[in-house]
Structure 1
Amino acid sequence: MTAEVADSQQRQLATMVAVYPLADELGEWFAAAGHELYLVGGTVRDTLLHGPGAQDLDFATSARPEETERLLNGWADHVWTTGARFGTISAWRDDTVVEITTFRADRYEPGSRHPEVVYGERIEEDLARRDFTINAMAVQVPEPRFVDPFGGLQDLRDSRLRTPQVPEVSFGDDPLRMVRLARFVGVLDAEPDEPARAAAERMAVELDTVSRERLRDELDKLVVTPAAAKGIDVLCDTGLADRFVPEVSDLRMERDPIHHHKDVYTHSLAVMERCPRDDRILRLAALLHDIGKPPTREFHAGGKVTFHHHEVVGARMARQRLKELRYPGDEVEKICQLIAMHLRFHGYADQPWSDSGVRRYVRDCGSDEQLWRLNQLTRADITTQNKKKARWLERSVDHLEARIEQLKEEEELSRIRPALDGNEIMRYLDLQPGPLVGEAREMLLDARLDQGPMSEEEAYALLDQWAQERGLR
C-alpha cells in the first residue's frame, strides 16, 4: 500500500470493493484452510470506477493450484482446470465465474513469450508482474484490506497509465502489453505516461513475436471502447499499428497544400466512433472503410483530388489484412462487404433509385443484419461540417429506409427469390445440373428484381424466351 493512502481511507476503499457475497464466502473458505485470498485486477479497478456489478471475479491466492482445486470442489457448482499449468483454476457458482490464480513471480527467458511459471509467496510479488498499476491493486477477503504497492489508485484518479516495473521490463515480458496500453487508453480515456509511451515506440518491433490471434483479439476489444479513436492514435503515434494494421497508419496521408482534401485518417476515426459500440463488425468496417484511398489517390488540375474505386481496392486490402490476423471467414466477408458497398448510397440523394434499385440494394446486402449495418455506416460516413448538407443526406437515408420498409410490406422483400427454383428449371427445360441452370435462375432473379413479384406462368414464359435465344428450344 502506498504511503499516500491513510489507514482510514484504506479501510474505506477495501469496503467499497469487497461487496460481493461470494467473495466473502470464498475468502472464509480459503482462510479456514490457512490461505490468503485477494480480489485483484479488473474486478478491483472496475468496482472502484463504477461500483458493484462484476459478473466474473478474479482472485489471487497463496494456495497452490492443487489445493485451490480441492477447496473449490467442495464449494463450486463446477470446476475446470484448463489453466492449471499457469496456476489458474476456474469455477462457476450461482451464475458467477471465478478465476483463482496462485501468486506468481514469473521469469521470462530472453526472446520467449512463454514464462517459466514461478509461484510467489506474497501478493506484492504477484502485483509487480501485472501490466499496469491500475490493474495492480488488490483487496483481501473476507477481512477487507486494500493493497496498492504501486500507486494504482492515484493513477486511476488521474487517468494515467503506468507499468508497475520499468516499462522495458513489463513490455519485454509480454510485448502485447503495448497494444493493451492503447486498449486501456480507449477503455478509460486515459493517457500513457511518457516512459510507457517512449518504450512502446522503441520496442514496437517486438510485436512481430506476438501471435496474430492475440493482436486480433486486442484490436477487437479496442475498437468498441468509449475512447477508441484515442486508443488508435496511440497505436499509430508509437508505430505499433505499423506492425499489424499498417493500413490504418497509412491513412495519415501527407496533405498537399494546393490539392485540398479532407483528413482521411481523422475522418475514418470519426466514422468509427459514430457507429454503435456494441457492433464490433461494423466498427471494424468503419475503421477500415477508406484504407483504399492512399493507393488510389490522384491529383488533378484545379485542386481536385480523386480516389477512384477506393472501395473495391479497400475491400481487397482489408480481406488480406483480416485473413493475416486470423479473423473467421464469415467475419472477413461481412467486413469486406460493408467496405465494398459503403459508396452505394452516393447519388441517391440527388436521384432516388427505382424500386428495382432498392430491391438490388437489399438483395446485395444479403441479410437484414448487414442491411442495418450498411445503413448505419452510411449515416456515420456523413461527417461534413456543412449542417445543411448533413441534414439533407440524413433525410435521404431516412427516405431510403422508409422505401425499404414499404417494399418489404408490399412484396416481402427479405424473401426475394426467383419464381422458379433450380429443380423446376431443370425439369421444364430438360437440363442436367450445370452452369445453364444457374444462368436461367439468375435471369429469373433479375426479372424479379426489375418487375416485382411474378406468377409461375409469367416465369415460364420468360424461361421459354430465354431458352429460345440460346437455341435450347
Structure 2
Amino acid sequence: MPQVPSHITLPIEPLLVLHRLTQAGFAVYIVGGAVRDLILSERDWLLMDFDITTNATPQELLTIFPDAFYENSFGTVSLTYQNLWQTEDIDKEYRDARELIATSHQASKSDPRLIDLVTASKVHTALLDHDQAQPEMTDEAPTATLPLIEITTFRSGEKYHEGARRPSEVQWGHSLIEDLQRRDFTINAMALKLDSTWISGLIESLAKNPPTLQGLAVESDHFELIDRFEGLADLDQRIIRSVGDAEDRIKEDALRMLRAIRFAVQLNCSIEDSLRSAISKFASQLADVSAERVRDELIKMLLSPQPKRAIELLDEVGLLEMILPELVLAKGVRQGGHHTTDVWQHSLDALEACPSPDPVVRLATLLHDISKPTTYNDESGQPTFYNHEVIGARVAKQIGQRLRFSKRDCERLFTLVRYHMFHYQPENSDAAIRRFMRKVGLENIDDILDLRESDRLGSGARKTSWRLEEMKERMVDQLNQPLDVTDLAINGNDLMTEFDLRPSRQLGELLQSLFEIVLEEPEKNNRETLLALTREILTNPTVKST
C-alpha cells in the first residue's frame, strides 16, 4: 500500500484561511488538485492555487472574509494572497519576495525571442498592434500573478445547462464525504485536515517567526489525509479512475472526458478501463459542452509534457472527431518526397517537437498541414498538395473561431499556417528577407520559426539547420531597415504640401510606390531622394522604381 507522506510543505496563506474558519467554528479541509500536487511534490507549492471546502455558506464566508470575491452562483468565494497579507499583517519582506517569485515565473513563461518586440515596436509601429500587444512588447515589468485560494461550500451535486462553463445549479452538501463523492476522479477526491491547535500555535508565533520562502513543513502528526476513494493508491500507480460509476460521472458533466485525458498526459497516467469505455460510449456528448470549455482543456493538453499522446488518446476514444474532425482525415494520406510518414503521423510528430510554450503556436503546428487531405493529387505518380498552405490557413482560422479563440489568436493561426512553407537560400537578397518579415509581421517571426523547426523535426530532420540559423541572423540585421510605408522618411502630409495634392487614392498609391523602391534600396529612404522620386513618378506615371 502506498504510504501517506511523512510531511507536506505549505505556504502560510492557506493556513491563515483554515485558522479563521476553525476559529469561527466551521469544518474546513484542503481538497482537490492541491492535495494531489502536494503528495506528488512535482509542482512548486509557491505557485500553487489552493481549493478549500467547508460547511460555511458563501454568505458566512463573506462575513469572515469581507474582502473576498463572490460573483457567481456556484458557491465559490475567492481570496487573493494580497487580501490575506493586509488583514493578517504579514511581514513585508516575505510579501515582496513572494511577489518577486510570481513576477519571475510570469516572465519565464515566454521563451527567448529572436525579435525584441519592445525595440522593434519603437522602429516599426505599424507592424505591431498595440491594442493587442503581448506582455513582452512593453518596457514595464511583468505583473505578479499570485496564486488564488478558492473556498467552496460542501456540495452534493451540480448540473450544467447545455454549453455552460459553470454549473447552472448547485446542491449544497452536509459533509465532506458527500462533497468528495461527487468529484470526478479519485486522485482529485482526497482531502487534508490539519490540526487546528497546531495551526493556532503557528499563527500566534508569526510576529516572532515571520514566514519564509522555505515554507512550512507540516509533519504527518499534524495532518490527516482523508482518502475514502483510494486516490492515493491510484496516484501511486498513475491511474485516472472515476469516483464511483464512470458513466454517471460523465453524464453529470461531459467535460470530464477531456479532463481524464488531460490529467493522463499532465501526470503521465493511464486511464482505467471502465472510464475509458465510458468515454468512448459517450464521446458524442461532448457536443453539449461549450466551445470555451473544450478549448481550455485542449490548450492544457497542448501545453502538457505529452501533447502528441493527448491527440492520440483523443482519437482512440472518439473525441478527436468531435473537436478536430479535419485532422482525422490526415490518417493514411501519404506524402512522398523527404517525408517517411503520412500526414497524420507527421502532424503529431511536429507537435511533439514544437519548442514554443505558446498554445497558439502549438495548435498551428498541429494544423499546419490540415488541408493536405483535401488538396491531395497523385496524377503525376507523386503526391502533390497544391496551395495546401493557403487553403489550410483559412481552415485553421475557422477552427480557431469554432473553438472561440480570440480574434487575434485566430489571425495568428491563419498567418502561421499560411506562411509555414517559406524557404531560405543564401542567395536570397536582403530585400527578399525584408519582404518576408513584412508579410509575416514582426510579432509572428519567432513563432513561424518555431513552427518551421517543428515541421522539419517532424519529418525526421536534424535539429540544427544552418540555413535557418543564417536566415535568423539576416533578419536581425534587417530590423532597422524600412518594413512598412510608415517607415518612410516622408508621409502623406509631406506629399500634399510639396505637390499640392489632396487626400486621395493617388496619394496612397504614391506612398506605396515609394515604399516598394525603398524596400529594394533602403539607402534611398531620405527626404530629398523620396521627393525627387515622387516628382519623377508624377511626371511619368509608368515609372515605379529606378
TM-score of Structure 1 vs Structure 2, range by shorter chain:
0.7 to 0.9
CA distance in 1, matches of 2:15, 2:532: 77
* 1:214 partner letter: R
Aligned residue for 2:149, secondary structure, equals: strand
Which deviations, in whole Å up to 9, do the C-alpha atoms of 1:257-284 show, x marking residues without a partner?
9x98622222222222222352122112
Counterpart check, 1:402 vs 2:390: no
Which deviations, in whole Å up to 9, do the C-alpha atoms of 1:194-234 show, x marking residues without a partner?
22222112211111111111112222222111111111111
* 1:20 partner letter: P
Contact 2:356 2:450 in 1 (8 A): no
Counterpart check, 1:68 vs 2:68: no
* 2:190 partner letter: M
Change (3 A) 1:107 1:451: closer
Change (3 A) 1:162 1:277: farther
Change (3 A) 1:300 1:126: same
Pick the aligned partner of 2:261 from 182, 189, 196.
182
CA distance in 2, matches of 1:107, 1:238: 26
* 2:179 partner letter: D
CA distance in 1, matches of 2:450, 2:434: 18
Contact 2:74 2:168 in 1 (8 A): no
Pick the aligned partner of 2:412 from 334, 338, 351.
334
- Give the match for residue 214 of structure 1: 293
Aligned residue for 1:16, secondary structure, equals: strand
Pick the aligned partner of 1:358 from 412, 426, 433.
433
Tell me the CA shift for residue 111 of structure 1. Answer: 7.0
* 1:66 partner letter: Q
Deviates more, 1:103-112 or 1:149-158: 103-112
Contact 1:183 1:222 in 2 (8 A): yes
Change (3 A) 1:159 1:425: farther
- Give the match for residue 88 of structure 1: 76
Pick the aligned partner of 1:106 from 147, 154, 157.
157
Contact 1:180 1:218 in 2 (8 A): yes
Tell me the CA shift for residue 148 of structure 1. Answer: 1.4
CA distance in 2, matches of 1:423, 1:237: 62
CA distance in 1, matches of 2:160, 2:513: 64
Tell me the CA shift for residue 466 of structure 1. Answer: 2.6
Q: Which of 1 and 2 has higher RCO (CA within 8 Å, sep 6+)? A: 2
Contact 2:350 2:459 in 1 (8 A): no
Change (3 A) 1:54 1:150: farther
RMSD across aligned positions (CA): 2.8
CA distance in 1, matches of 2:19, 2:460: 63
CA distance in 2, matches of 1:109, 1:458: 67
* 1:239 partner letter: G
Counterpart check, 1:464 vs 2:535: yes
CA distance in 2, matches of 1:112, 1:62: 29
Tell me the CA shift for residue 236 of structure 1. Answer: 1.7
Tell me the CA shift for residue 136 of structure 1. Answer: 1.2
Pick the aligned partner of 2:392 from 301, 311, 314.
314
Counterpart check, 1:435 vs 2:426: no
Contact 1:318 1:336 in 2 (8 A): yes
Aligned residue for 1:317, secondary structure, equals: helix
CA distance in 1, matches of 2:24, 2:498: 79
* 1:164 partner letter: V
Tell me the CA shift for residue 307 of structure 1. Answer: 1.0
Contact 1:36 1:140 in 2 (8 A): no
Tell me the CA shift for residue 80 of structure 1. Answer: 0.8
The 5-angstrom pairing of residues 213-292 of structure 1 reads 213-255=292-334, 262-292=341-371
- Give the match for residue 444 of structure 2: 370
Change (3 A) 1:122 1:440: same
Aligned residue for 1:79, secondary structure, equals: coil
Change (3 A) 1:273 1:425: farther
Tell me the CA shift for residue 313 of structure 1. Answer: 0.7
Change (3 A) 1:384 1:247: closer
Pick the aligned partner of 2:273 from 175, 182, 194.
194
CA distance in 2, matches of 1:111, 1:400: 50
Which deviations, in whole Å up to 9, do the C-alpha atoms of 1:427-469 show, x marking residues without a partner?
3343333322222222122111111232222212222233234
Which consecutive residues of structure 2, in runs of 5 or more, have no partner in the other structure?
86-145, 196-221
Tell me the CA shift for residue 333 of structure 1. Answer: 0.9
Contact 2:346 2:459 in 1 (8 A): no
Counterpart check, 1:57 vs 2:53: no
Contact 1:60 1:103 in 2 (8 A): yes
